[in-house]
Structure 1
Amino acid sequence: MSVLLMIIASACFATMAALIKALGPSLPIPEIIFFRSIIPLPFFLAVLLIKKQRIFVVAWKTLILRSLFGFLAMSGFYFALIHLPLAESVFLGRTQPLILALLAPWVVNEKPTGAVWIAIGTGLLGVICIIQPSFGWMPAAWASIGAASASAMAHLLVRRLNRTDAPVTIVTNFFLVSAILSGVWTAAVFTPPVASQWALLIGIALFSTFGQFLMTIAYRKDHAPVVAAASYASIIFSIFYGYAFWHELPPASAGIGGTLIITGSCILIRSRI
């Protein structure tokens, strides 16, 4: 059941990515992040009020850091989605667990084992295969890796926050801070969305929120490594969307690189069992 939930969640995340790519450069990225953050915020606030839980986190300094890294991750990821083929941007985004393992010793004092170093090295080879032959070191490819790095740091900070605050409170505060940051950034260049853009923005918020909800349930029902392995279904969905709507097929070099990144991540997952 958990694997099925994670596959559905992966389909939601891939659909969100496809909707962001469809929106393209027609709206500024900070504006997309603003609506992505503000639309689901009332739902999470209602959950906190119904459950009578804290609205604001205790560890607010850690929350601000987590929000800043999360904001950077979304900005880089959205930029990469708009400027790279869908599958390749998702491949590069999948370096996040490998970067997380690399940063863990300095953030949460988790020392990597030999298997973890092998996983990181395998993933690094995959990144080289994707970036150099396919993109000529394009800025968008680096933005995707930077987004994965920022996302890894945000996830490590969430581990710290989980020691003092409930998950729903953490998510609510993250959306709140992200809405403020993106709102300030986009205020000077705000572009009122038209009807078709509103449909895409609402879809982005709904699919990402629903995917997050299903992913949370999946992790509660089964061992984390099993669920994490199932999350790679998002790559299959991304390849399908890329071909169906933009006639994109990953080149051989990207396929090899993506396989190496997935292999490295699977080695990492296996080391956690």
Structure 2
Amino acid sequence: MKNGVILAIVSSLVFSIMNALVKAVSLSIPTAEVVFFRSIIGTVIIFFMMRHANVAFSTEGIPMLALRGVLGALYLITYFYTIAAIPLTDASILAHLAPFFVMMLAAVFLKEKPSKKTLALFPVAFLGAMLLVKPFQFSSYSVHALVGVLSAGFAAGAATSIRYLSQRHHAYEIVFYFLATATVVSIPLMWNNVVIPSPLEFFYLVCIGVVSLIGQLFLTKAFTHENAVVVEVTRYIGIVFNAMWGFLFWAEVPDLLTVFGGVLIVASCIALSRSKGR
């Protein structure tokens, strides 16, 4: 098994733990505030890691680093919002639509042309997403699920930018820009809606910041070792991890539409990884 694949699996496990913590604390803490704590804690830690490793800030490529930061911040906000609003498994499946968005963005910005088989798989994944969103069942229809789809788009933009930046910048610097930007973006969103966390909630928030940074480092390293699409598809194991936490802690049992939609999305993305280069 390639190093990049192993790193992607480990990052998925770590991020699933973060997702469970986010789900728990979001019962009382607003999404923007969770994003703020997640980001500010990680920013401080990664800054000292850069100092310890003698990693200097670049003087070139700042606009792309900033763009990666903005895309990552928007992904965090939309994804954390989705986790708080719908079952953990559903949120995880929707976020993992990212490989299809990666393919589209990679074709435009990285000049990686998708194959005919890849293009044929798009409708299958779209059908899977619609089964999760449930647009024709108004009693079940959820705008929250649409925000989950949007989070996948932002995640894809961030992944594509990481692949580009990893050839030119140290992983620590890429992560620093992401977290620092997310901190700045979250402040105005939480300004009039701050909730003072209890000791337990504060402990959860600190854990989210530390655990998510560990996951981000593993993920960024994975992108430096392997193709962006392969990494994203490998991370589908995260759906299993998230489903496990959702069942254990919140007794979340996916309905048939969710299971069928999830199967379509996962199967199409596995086929997507196999079609690359054909």
Tell me, yes or no, whether TM beats 0.5. yes
Looking at structure 2, the residues matched to 104 and 150 of structure 1 have their Cα atoms a distance apart, in angstroms, of 13
Q: CA RMSD in A?
A: 2.4
Matches within 5 A, 1:224-239: 228-239=232-243
Q: 1:161 to 1:9 in 2, by over 3 A?
A: closer
Letter in 2 for 1:213: L
Matches within 5 A, 1:33-52: 33-52=35-54
Counterpart of 1:116 (choices 111, 115, 118) is 118
Counterpart of 1:212 (choices 207, 213, 216) is 216
Is 2:92 the partner of 1:105? no
Secondary structure of the structure 2 residue equivalent to 1:160: helix
Structure 1 unpaired stretches of 5+:
none
How many residue pairs match? The answer is 273
Secondary structure of the structure 1 residue equivalent to 2:254: coil
Looking at structure 2, the residues matched to 227 and 146 of structure 1 have their Cα atoms a distance apart, in angstroms, of 20
Looking at structure 2, the residues matched to 261 and 82 of structure 1 have their Cα atoms a distance apart, in angstroms, of 22
Report if the CA contact (8 A) 2:35-2:77 is conserved.
Answer: yes
Larger mean CA deviation between 217-226 and 109-118 belongs to 217-226
Secondary structure of the structure 2 residue equivalent to 1:171: helix
Report if the CA contact (8 A) 2:163-2:224 is conserved.
Answer: no
- 1:7 maps to which residue? 9
Matches within 5 A, 1:142-161: 142-161=146-165
Secondary structure of the structure 1 residue equivalent to 2:192: helix
- 1:266 maps to which residue? 270
Percent identity among equivalent residues? 26
TM, length-normalised to structure 1: 0.89
TM, length-normalised to structure 2: 0.88
Letter in 2 for 1:186: M
Looking at structure 2, the residues matched to 170 and 222 of structure 1 have their Cα atoms a distance apart, in angstroms, of 17
Q: 1:93 to 1:225 in 2, by over 3 A?
A: closer
Residues 118-177 of structure 1: per-residue CA shift (max 9 Å, x gap): 232221121122212677431100000001111112222233333442221111122112
Report if the CA contact (8 A) 2:98-2:232 is conserved.
Answer: no
Larger mean CA deviation between 85-94 and 49-58 belongs to 49-58
Report if the CA contact (8 A) 1:92-1:144 is conserved.
Answer: yes
Letter in 2 for 1:88: D
Residues 55-76 of structure 1: per-residue CA shift (max 9 Å, x gap): 2562222222222222111111
Secondary structure of the structure 1 residue equivalent to 2:191: helix
Report if the CA contact (8 A) 1:13-1:207 is conserved.
Answer: yes
Letter in 2 for 1:38: I
- 2:18 maps to which residue? 16
Report if the CA contact (8 A) 2:171-2:217 is conserved.
Answer: no
Instruction: Give the C-alpha shift of residue 221 in structure 1.
Output: 6.5
Report if the CA contact (8 A) 2:96-2:152 is conserved.
Answer: yes
Looking at structure 2, the residues matched to 217 and 157 of structure 1 have their Cα atoms a distance apart, in angstroms, of 14
Larger mean CA deviation between 165-174 and 98-107 belongs to 98-107
Is 2:181 the partner of 1:183? no
Looking at structure 1, the residues matched to 199 and 114 of structure 2 have their Cα atoms a distance apart, in angstroms, of 49
Larger mean CA deviation between 256-265 and 211-220 belongs to 211-220
Counterpart of 2:83 (choices 67, 81, 84) is 81
Q: 1:5 to 1:152 in 2, by over 3 A?
A: closer
Q: 1:215 to 1:62 in 2, by over 3 A?
A: closer
Looking at structure 2, the residues matched to 158 and 95 of structure 1 have their Cα atoms a distance apart, in angstroms, of 18
Secondary structure of the structure 2 residue equivalent to 1:40: helix
Structure with the higher fraction of residues in helix conformation: 1
Counterpart of 2:61 (choices 59, 62, 65) is 59
Report if the CA contact (8 A) 1:87-1:238 is conserved.
Answer: yes
Looking at structure 2, the residues matched to 137 and 119 of structure 1 have their Cα atoms a distance apart, in angstroms, of 24
Instruction: Give the C-alpha shift of residue 230 in structure 1.
Output: 4.0
